[in-house]
Amino acid sequence: MLRDIMAYIATHHPDAAPFIGEDMAWHEASATKAPGYSSVTYTAAQWNVTIAHTMTPESAYEVEARYRSDRIVWQGLVKDGAIIEHKYTSH
């Protein structure tokens, strides 16, 4: 899912593409688990990507990708394999 999200960002936002490598080595930085909710934050090449999932019958994941904290921020949803963008900012 991480590669698909980053490929989506690179394809739809050419200003972000130079900061996204094809073979980025992702590492799990933190995880949160609570009743009915879980999230995992991954890091690579100054990117932090948090993928959150509310335990529902739907296969939907809320995603936030940040480059250098707030230089680039992408927010969206991955639902049934489709990536849906909600917000993109670049400074």
**Among the listed residues 78, 81, 73, 49, the one whose alpha carbon sits nearest the alpha carbon of residue 61:** 78
60-77 pLDDT tens trace = 999 999 999 899 999 999
Among 9, 25, 28, 29, CA closest to 17: 9
What's the CA gap between 89 and 29, in Å, rounded?
23
Provide the pLDDT for residue 58. 79
User: Could you read off the pLDDT of 6-32 as tens digits, one per residue?
Assistant: 999 999 999 999 999 988 999 999 999
The residue ranges of every structural domain in the chain are 2-90
pTM of the shown model = 0.92
* Mean pLDDT to the nearest integer, 78-83: 93
